[in-house]
A and B are shown apart, each in its own frame.
Chain A
Amino acid sequence: MIVKQKTISFKRLVATALVAVTLVAQYIPINTANAAGFTGGYSELELEHGTGPGGGGGSAPGAIADHNFAFRVPTGADIGSIKLLYCTTAGPANIAAAFDSDCTMPLLMDTATDAPNATAIANQSEANVFTIAGGSPNGTIILTRTAANIAAGTDVSFTMTNITNPTPDLETTSGTFFVRIITYTGTDGATTPIDHGTVAASVTRQIVLTGAMPESLVFCAGANIDETDNVADCRTVTTGAISFNQLFSPSDTAYATSEMAASTNAGVGYVISVNGNTLENGSYDIAAMAAANHPIRGTEQFGLNLVHNTGVYNTVNYSDYAAANGGFGVAITDASNATNLKGQAAVGTYDTAEQFKFTTGDTVANSAYDGTTNTTYGPSDAQIYTVSYIANVTGSQPAGTYSTTLTYICTPTF
């Protein structure tokens, strides 16, 4: 019966191990417990990130970890050795039995001092240092030295490095294990025990978190797009129907603005083109500005740009309202920085204040800002463009409502 139970445990072990090897280790906070025999309320075992499988996660099952011990000596005495006994229980079931009896070593742990993961002692608080006595079975560590006095109340600490954590079946059992600590006057880890206590720790499952970033393009256009927490948010886009700020007039320039936002992780970035007709009213229209030019009152002009405009050109107001109210249009926001923000108005065409143009199919923006040549296409985080439109009319422009439907197309190249 006992043999069969061991077989089942092995199967569990195999299954668990196969799962565990797929996990990526991460550091899990320490688990501590007070020792029974050490008075003063101070003793602990900390599992520290070490090296080895899964990145050596401190509490990872099977990880090569460093075990930091600390306890306060209750009895002042000459101490020649300390025994560390790794067990699945805190003490013997029979409290009358020897403290180091009835100990089952946690599954698959390794405290051996041989290669490749040789357990060693480090970071000792005692000037008269301990060394590891040879010949101890796996799961038992005897620290020895020439006996020297440790006063009552002294805090003793040291680190056992390169210990292979237990690998219990976490589906069915706790990951908690215990280390029974016994001090001796003798140097052999057996002669004349002085104090004893238990510390506990636990190995736990590691969280293996995985996510995939696919090819990404986020693009929207509308009358208004807001930022949420300083990030352009296409969920806030409002209707694409926009109107000019005033009735058309041969003696003043009318303007309007729309917005669009774009981001992509495409390696070669994106280009945005504008597509559509000029402003039309039946058979009447307002001439598109085929070449970039400043607004001229009293002439037929329909154009756009993607920058901030003052409403003044060459000291002359072309839009009285804009000139009196700080202009219109906004520079791209957030401003490009050639690293994660690379959006820009198309250089040489739609990027100059007070200069407007409209040719269907034109590229009006791209993600090629590099701070110098601005021709280096690349991925970019989200930025909001404000498109500024102007309309000028002649005195004879027939009355009526003029409109156009503009389609912006963003094309990323992966």
Chain B
Amino acid sequence: MSLINRMFRVTISVILLAPTICYIFLSQTASAATVTSRKVTISSSQIDGANVTYTFSFKSATTTAVKSASFMPCTTASGTCTAPTGFLQGGARSAITLNGQPANLGSGTWTIDTATATGGLDYSLLINNSGNSTDQVTADTVIVSFSGVHNPSNADGMTFYMRIATYSDAAYTNVIDSGVTAAATVLQIILSGTMPESLIFCVGDDIDAVENVPDCSTADSGTVSFNQLFSPSDTAYAISEMAASTNAGTGYIITVNGNTLENGGYSIAAMGSTDVSKHGVSQFGLNLVANTGMVPPAGTVPYTTYGAFGANVSLAANGTNYKGQPAPSSGYDVADYFRFVSGATVANSAYNGTTNDVLGPTDGQIFTVSYIANVPGSLAAGTYSTTLTYVCTPTF
């Protein structure tokens, strides 16, 4: 009986005292309204990230002048607050600075408080301004920004909560408004790719540029025919194309390899030295530039009825990312002059705008190879052909 009586008395006592106890514990928040439109924007979600900027944004719910504010990091949105591991590197707040004066938070000067160290405030972001007496405007967005914050260090990343509270005193005691917002640290995406040693080289009768970039996937057949039947009174010509790029540190060189035009036991003489096109003379040669079709140097007499042919390297070399050029002084780099020696270097990536002898990497360019054939009147009738092999050699 006595036990039951005691239980009864205790029960009644607890019930009667409960409102008082609750008031004591909740006195700071009992009348607090919730700040609206609240968020915290962090400059980095990196796990254990240092020197992160935390920018709080919210609208006050109460017009009372704010004299202090706290931003408490917690692992949960409500209940007892436990600081996220690693936040502020265990409570060191000396590195934190107020990133400018808060916006729409009264008047006077706000200062960051790194000294207060009671009941969870020791790891909170705190500001105070005891002299502020300007009422809040609930329509205005308050912005408070801190620099130098250290993110939580949970290895898997985590969601953590920032409990915002404003106070009518400078000692973080009498809560005006409060609210909770959230942020998350996450794994960073470490994106990697490898650029290998690269050489892109192709040859064909035609190669297109796709969106101004030579595209070897467009290379056509390597079978090329002269524009007309051979004749002792006119120069026949033909063109082929090749494209090259490399990231080789000392660039590339391109050689031509093969025989002259042949037909069984007959042939058209290769131009062993650089020369102009001459009607009625056995000549087979090539160059890598645009030709006028006019006999140099005066350039008034055409050597081919059809006029200009061939093209300069495209895209034009610029000495930086485009360095391809017909080999200088090789006999293949002057308009209306031709040559053919098997094994000769016909192009390289050494263009620098001056000496043009600085081999280096280059983006894709298209070379147009122009071939000419002249024949004497006695050349045996028949089809003359050759198989030319271009070899591009990069040096890494």
Contacts and interface: CB of A to CB of B under 8 A. Distances in A.
Contacts of A400: 194-195
A320 to B, nearest CB: 9
A407 B186 CA distance: 8
B42 A296 contact: no
Interface in A219-275: 219-222, 237, 239-244, 247-251, 254, 256, 258, 260, 264, 266, 268, 275
Contacts of A279: 191, 193
Contact of A219 (B184, B323, B362): B184
Contact of B194 (A14, A215, A297, A402): A402
Interface in A1-53: 4, 8, 11-12, 14-15, 18
Contact of A4 (B1, B39, B187, B198): B1
B361 A395 contact: yes
Given A8-B1, A220-B186, A247-B196, A396 B181 contact: no
Nearest to B157: A220
A11 B8 contact: yes
B5 A407 contact: no
B180 to A, nearest CB: 5
A288 B198 CA distance: 21
A216 interface: yes
Interface in B167-188: 179-184, 186-188
Interface in A162-219: 212, 214-219
A413 interface: yes
Contacts, number: 231
Nearest to A284: B195
B236 interface: no
Among B12, B76, B213: residue with most chain A CB under 10 A: B213
Interface residues of B, number: 67
A299 to B, nearest CB: 6
A397 B247 contact: yes
B41 interface: yes
Interface string B32-68: 0000011111111110010000000100000000000
Given A11-B8, A250-B364, A395-B363, A298 B192 contact: no
B77 interface: yes
B17 to A, nearest CB: 13
B380 to A, nearest CB: 44
Nearest to B35: A414
A325 B393 CA distance: 34
Nearest to A395: B245
Contacts of B44: 275, 407, 409
A127 interface: no
A407 B182 CA distance: 17
A408 B184 CA distance: 10
Contacts of A15: 7-8, 11-12
A403 B188 CA distance: 12
B4 interface: yes
B24 to A, nearest CB: 21
Contacts of B181: 215, 412-414
B37 A268 contact: yes
A395 B191 contact: no
A242 B194 contact: no
Nearest to B57: A413
A250 B209 CA distance: 13
Contact of A220 (B39, B78, B187): B187
A399 B247 contact: yes
B144 to A, nearest CB: 15
Given A401-B194, A411-B40, A260 B186 contact: yes
B210 A250 contact: no
Contacts of A411: 39-42, 183
A220 B186 CA distance: 5
Nearest to B8: A11
Interface string B229-247: 0000000000000001111
Contact of A406 (B159, B188, B323, B362): B188
Contacts of A408: 45, 186, 189
Interface stretch (B115-123, B214-222, B295-303): B214-222
Contacts of A407: 44-46, 49, 186, 188-189
> Sorted from nearest, which 3 A-B pairs have the closest CB atoms?
A395-B245, A214-B77, A298-B213
Interface of B: 1, 4-5, 7-8, 11-12, 15, 37-46, 49, 57, 76-78, 156-157, 159, 161, 179-184, 186-198, 200, 210-211, 213-217, 244-247, 249, 321, 323, 360-364, 396
Given A15-B7, A244-B192, A394-B245, 10 more contacts: A215-B161, A217-B182, A247-B195, A248-B195, A248-B198, A249-B196, A298-B213, A396-B245, A408-B45, A414-B180
